[in-house]
Structure 1
Amino acid sequence: MESRSRLSASVVNSSVAIIMQLLILISTFIMQTVFIKTLGVEYLGAKGLFTNLISFLSFAELGVGSAITYSLYKPLAENDHHSVGAVMNLFKKTYNIIGVVILFVGIFLSFFIKDIVKDGQMIPQMQLMFILFLLNTVVGYFFTYMRSLLIANQQGYIDSVNRGIFMIVLSIIQIIILLKTHNFLFFLVAQIIVTIISNVSITITANKIFPYLTDHKDAKVSNEIVSYMKKNIFGTISSRVGSIIVLGTDNILISKFIGLSTVGLYSNYMLVISGISSLMGQMLSAVVSSLGNLGVTANINHQLKIFYRYLYVVAFISYTTGITLIVILTPFIKLWIGKSYELKFLTIVLIVLNFFIIQMRQASLNFISAHGLYWPMRWKSLIEAVFNLVVSLILIQTTTLGINAVIIGSILNNIFINIWWEPLILFKHGFKSSMKKYVKMYSLYFLTFIFSITIIYFYLNRISTYSKGIVELFSQSILVFITSIIIFVIIFSWTKEEKYFFNLVFSRINALLKNS
């Protein structure tokens, strides 16, 4: 019954998350189109740069939210209202402090914006724009802890609906502002106001669902939880530092050494990639709370069985999506905003390869998060950060690779650091089991993707896809997507995981036929 409850919660959370993220993606694309047409590629580059800078300021958060959220799994499973209230009180106080710290550090950083942009490419009022961008992040910290409680309680769909509705409303408002005023400052002010309303709304909803929080507003966390948090929050510090440096440096390096316009071109491709990644992330991470519940209630053998099924799903989605992106990404950009915004095919291949590797990491990372293995991750992320920054800087300064140098730096970082270290942490400290099967399966998934990319490269050399219209692009994307599914299913037909899902699908179909 408990397993069925976890499965039900995962399905609901994933389904709602996918639908809302898809709606957000569509509205964001429409808004981005209007943004480019009204403000231009330099302002788009500035927006991408601001996003990376804000990720650096999130050093102050240092993964505290993840550690505290993990502390909620056990008391929620045991209906320990006092402990839940105590953890949430700590959560609130911590995030209020973090918000203030980010505000003051961000204002200080705003005076150095000009030093991060290539000479002669500053746009007017850039410092004020960054401060408004900063305020949108800061106001989120004063309310967002309630979202974590809903997610930990396997009610992430409520958060997904809230985010979806307000993001769509924000896109509509921003489109109107851009069309009527062409003013980036008004665009940013609207973002702040909608963020505040969204967070107040989720807080009111959470308080109705968890009325007992008011009865424990003065509760203090136990010594056991404090001991756990001291160790694991320290562990998340290095993890968070590494993630921010790796993910936050791309646009900054491109802005400093190549130019703000190139950041704008790259941002269009990354909007597509990040949109799809968010869609996949919502679907795959929506089950983390259920995995966290599994981690405190199920034995290791059952957890391993679930992990390999989860890895299969991650690989299936990452493979089919990546293969389709290789073929349609540039034609889509051309149809969307024009030929002048295209990047070279080699750059596309590198972007999608990095996308696939990052997505394949989600299986290990989500189980690491569910098991609260932040302490063992501390050194990995620091080494990752140094490696990525050094390699990217060397490549961008000593070669003529340009933007490709930054992407190659990220790929090498993932290959030499992440794809083996993260599963090692999970299997050693979480499952306490051999990872031979994982190495075998991951290698097969990876080689299958590389083989398919090679086939597609020769295919694109023989058939021009960049002159296609929207009908041809849609039909081709469907054809490639279906073909990739067939290839994947055939190659992995021998695995227990694929047989399990096929039996599951056929049993559901038989059940529906019998009921009809």
Structure 2
Amino acid sequence: MRIQNSLRNMITAVMQIVVTIILRFIAQSYFIHILGLKYQGLNGLFSSIIGMLGIAELGLGTAILFNMYEYIAKRDIETIKSLLKFYQRCYQAIAGFVIIFGLALMPFLHVFVNMSSINENVYVIYLLFLADSAFSYLLIYKQSILIAHQKKHLINLADLAYTIIYNLGQIALLILTHNYILILLLVLFLRLAENIMISRVADRRYPYIKDKNVQLLDKKIARRLIKQMKGQAFHVIGGFVVFGTDNMIISSFLGLTVMGLYSNYLLITNTLNSFLLQVVGSVTPSVGDLLTEKNSKENFKVHQHLTFICFWLYSFSAIGIYIVTQPFIELWLGKNYLLSGGVLLVVALNFYVQGMRSPMTVFQQAAGIFYENRFVPVAEAITNLIASIVLIKYLGLAGVLLGTIICTMILYGYSFPKYTFVPIFKKKVSVYVIEQLSYLFIFALLFISTVVVSHFLDVSNVWGNFILKIVICLIIPNALLILLFRKSREFRYFRSLVNGLFSKNNS
């Protein structure tokens, strides 16, 4: 059942992402050509500012989910109800916080935005972003019961419906009205509708969560939750500074136009990353279930399988990003929307580095390791902020991404081995170091080999060059990976997983 639920979650995630990829690229083409790069940059900037307010959540959802695994396994309905009620009240408070502090930031928007460059009222646009974020917190808490029961595919299907209606609606509004504010109103309406739909699905599947007779959360559980949230607070704040401030730094130092150009590359990497994270995230509830069995040998085997799968997916994808992105953007938007090759190289390397965090992050979250390593994200955030601001002056856009890569080394070199790898798997740090360096060396080999072949096989026709680059990226890295790993246990597991996925779809 554990594997079946993971596969079901994975299949719906893939469906959602494939549809999202097609519709988002079509919608963004209309967006850029009708409204322009500055609106695209504004969209990315306000998303980051609203993301900053989202740190008020302080990892509550992750902490609740971790505790829910245990009580679902015990079939302790009363405690599950108490956890959900606690979750609901906390999220109502968070929605209030987001509104109050979001409004308090309005007088400072001019620091990031040249108001005269946008036709609509920038403050109205910002308020719509703020409303979308705040209202989402009021209903989203019921998603946790579906995720903990390994029913994330139901949420994926709701997201799929939202994606289709939103993107088609956005295209229609752009063509008919050229009005950005109407698009944001559509987002607000559809997000509310999606959250209401998911809430009703949860109510129907688990009717006990509608019961008004709910006990107060046990003090021991509440204390444990608060301790985990204290640790998570550092992770959430650190995570935002590392990943959420890039857009604000770029907008402040380089302007909305550069932010708009970078947003096109972000769309590619974020879409690809969402797909890969959905695949990895589909097995996260199963990992939480597995950890309750406290079998370090089995845990380590699952870690090896998951790390190998992530390495294959992220190394192959990072190489594809570096080689295929430029001809794709030239076809999609035109040569005027290209960034430099140096920036693209750092984008691809950053994609690989962040992707390889996923396996350890899955185990860290599933095991509830938030408090022990709470100061690590603070060090990571400070390093990222200083490095990004210093390097942007010398390297421009590439400097911001290099800052992110540099700070990630703190996680790889210190936090993951000490707080996650050794305690969960009962292995020496040297095992972790050898594993990570081996994968890094192989990635470098794959990257250089594919780039060299791509450099020598080049054609002048834009479409021909694009297709050729795709073929090269599909063949070279995957052929080398099969050659290197064909006899390994991890490869056999990966192959059986893929075969099982296709046979399940065909049956």
What range is the shorter-chain TM-score in? over 0.9
- Post-superposition CA distance 1:212-242 (Å, at most 9, x none): 1123542221122112101100000000000
SS at match of 2:331: helix
Letter in 1 for 2:430: K
Who is 1:29 aligned against? 25
Residues 296-375 of structure 1 correspond to what in structure 2 (within 5 A)?
Answer: 296-375=292-371
Who is 2:467 aligned against? 474
SS at match of 1:388: helix
Offset at 1:506? 7.8
Offset at 1:474? 3.4
Contact 2:115 2:122 in 1 (8 A): no
User: Is residue 199 from structure 1 mapped to residue 192 from structure 2 by the alignment?
Assistant: no
User: Is residue 402 from structure 1 mapped to residue 400 from structure 2 by the alignment?
Assistant: no
Distance 1:510 1:120, change over 3 A: closer
User: Is residue 244 from structure 1 mapped to residue 243 from structure 2 by the alignment?
Assistant: no
Distance 1:503 1:199, change over 3 A: closer
Residue 47 (structure 2) aligned to one of 51, 54, 63: 51
Residue 186 (structure 2) aligned to one of 183, 190, 197: 190
Who is 1:452 aligned against? 446
Distance 1:217 1:36, change over 3 A: farther
Residue 492 (structure 1) aligned to one of 471, 478, 485: 485
Offset at 1:507? 9.3
Residue 225 (structure 2) aligned to one of 224, 229, 240: 229
**Structure 2 CA distance, aligned partners of 1:511 and 1:280?**
20
**Structure 2 CA distance, aligned partners of 1:92 and 1:45?**
34
**Structure 2 CA distance, aligned partners of 1:269 and 1:310?**
27
Identical-pair percentage = 27
Contact 2:139 2:199 in 1 (8 A): yes
Q: How many residues align?
A: 507
Who is 1:173 aligned against? 169
Offset at 1:121? 4.9
Distance 1:419 1:160, change over 3 A: farther
Offset at 1:308? 0.5
- Post-superposition CA distance 1:44-89 (Å, at most 9, x none): 0000101111111112111111111111101111211111111000
Contact 1:384 1:418 in 2 (8 A): no
Which is worse superposed, 242-251 or 222-231? 222-231
Who is 2:98 aligned against? 102
- Post-superposition CA distance 1:101-124 (Å, at most 9, x none): 101111111221111236975654
- Post-superposition CA distance 1:178-203 (Å, at most 9, x none): 11110111110110000000001110
Who is 1:18 aligned against? 14
Residue 483 (structure 1) aligned to one of 463, 476, 486: 476
**Structure 1 CA distance, aligned partners of 2:388 and 2:427?**
35
Distance 1:270 1:225, change over 3 A: same
Residue 136 (structure 1) aligned to one of 132, 139, 157: 132
User: Is residue 430 from structure 1 mapped to residue 437 from structure 2 by the alignment?
Assistant: no
TM-score under structure 1 length normalisation? 0.93
5+ residue gaps, structure 1: none
User: Is residue 412 from structure 1 mapped to residue 437 from structure 2 by the alignment?
Assistant: no
Who is 1:76 aligned against? 72
Question: How large is the RMSD of aligned CA atoms in angstroms?
Answer: 2.3
Who is 1:147 aligned against? 143
Distance 1:461 1:507, change over 3 A: closer
Letter in 2 for 1:77: A
Letter in 1 for 2:220: E
Which is worse superposed, 422-431 or 86-95? 422-431
Contact 2:450 2:476 in 1 (8 A): no
**Structure 1 CA distance, aligned partners of 2:129 and 2:112?**
16
Letter in 1 for 2:470: S
**Structure 2 CA distance, aligned partners of 1:494 and 1:133?**
51
Offset at 1:495? 3.2
Distance 1:58 1:502, change over 3 A: closer
- Post-superposition CA distance 1:357-405 (Å, at most 9, x none): 10010000011111111112311111000000001111123xx311111
Which is worse superposed, 347-356 or 216-225? 216-225
SS at match of 1:106: helix
Runs of 4+ in 1 over 6 A off after TM superposition: 503-513
Letter in 2 for 1:413: C
Contact 1:60 1:101 in 2 (8 A): yes
**Structure 1 CA distance, aligned partners of 2:497 and 2:175?**
50
Letter in 1 for 2:43: K
**Structure 1 CA distance, aligned partners of 2:52 and 2:505?**
51
Which is worse superposed, 213-222 or 65-74? 213-222
- Post-superposition CA distance 1:437-481 (Å, at most 9, x none): 332222121112222323344445444467421x65235313322
Contact 2:327 2:465 in 1 (8 A): no
Which is worse superposed, 471-480 or 140-149? 471-480
Which is worse superposed, 29-38 or 349-358? 29-38
Contact 1:20 1:161 in 2 (8 A): yes
Offset at 1:502? 4.5
TM-score under structure 2 length normalisation? 0.95
Letter in 2 for 1:495: S
SS at match of 2:234: helix
5+ residue gaps, structure 2: none
Residue 292 (structure 1) aligned to one of 288, 294, 307: 288
**Structure 2 CA distance, aligned partners of 1:366 and 1:419?**
18
